[in-house]
Structure 1
Amino acid sequence: MAEEPDNTPIQSKYAQQYGADLAANREEQERLAERLKQLQADEAWLLQQLEAKKAGAPAKAAASQTVPQQRREAAKATPVPSNAKKKTTRAKTPAKRTHAPKAKAGGDKATVKKTTVEKATQHVAETAKRAEPPLHEVVLSILRTQPGHPHLAREVHTELADKHRRSASIQVVRNSLESLVKKGMVEKENKQNSVMYTAPTGRTVESVPEAAAEKASEKVTADA
């Protein structure tokens, strides 16, 4: 038996949907109103407890001051020999002298430790920076991963940041590519008003240490 077509007007369908959304909205408003009432009741209770605690604080402070006051009055009533006062004064003086150098030594130790940590951090950062290969070698390695495939400068710039974690402007990357073109290590061509750079397919990929060694040997030959 074939199903009967749904002849409900589209206006009725939207009206039902709007009605359901309106009912859900009102239910949410009622729920939030109840939550707001609960939060307001909690606020009133917290304020009441805070005021009660503040009111009890002065009384507690007055009670704590009673004992020291009684001790001072008892000390005044008891006569103290003059020799005892002198001994007490002399005994207190060395104590102050012994505590001062300890605090100073602790401060000096903390300062030395902080300086040592800063120097070690700086040394690690400088070592990591020196270990990075030159930018033009990384750019050349990106092109050589797909020899014969042309790359835009912005493509090299994006891969340099994403895969190699090297931060350089697009202009610096373009300068490195142009330098490789002048050395004959990269080919350059214009396609559809865009400059494309390609690594030749007939050359092998050098490792970074080999490229650095070759650069050092070229420098020695030039100096000779």
Structure 2
Amino acid sequence: MTSQSAATLRARYVAQAAADLEENRRRQRELAERITALKQEEALLSDIITLAERYEDAADPSRPPEQSQDEPDMPKAGAKTKSRPPLLGDLLTELLAQYEEPRLAKELRDELLQKHPDRNPTPQVVRNTLESLVAKGRVQRHKQQRSVLYTVTPS
């Protein structure tokens, strides 16, 4: 093998290794984004399950009346006993209650991310949750030009 062909072969190996490395980095970025999306989806599904369980408990006639809805049921046999994180709607209501003036969904999400770094809902999930709270009468919607702002409904 001549020195020129060895250099050409070496250059091709270096180019291939660089291309493979770049492809691996691109794939890692894609996977990291997918993991983030899955974590957000998991948090949303957890909120949905919690709501469903609360609805089931409220509709269950065999449940003792002296037990409030906020008290968790005794763990059933074989069930994991881990505490559930607070619902996103409850967190957003708490944040809104701190202000007298209406707040944008973006502002609420930013504050939520600061105060609860373990929670990372997408902007759309925050807006959907706020609209759900509006439908339940817990939050009021205010429109100013093209902006939508929210306040807690006075009790």
TM-score range, shorter chain: 0.3 to 0.5
TM-score (norm 1): 0.31
Task: Select the structure with the greater relative contact order (CA < 8 A; seq sep ≥ 6).
Answer: 2
Larger strand fraction of residues: 2
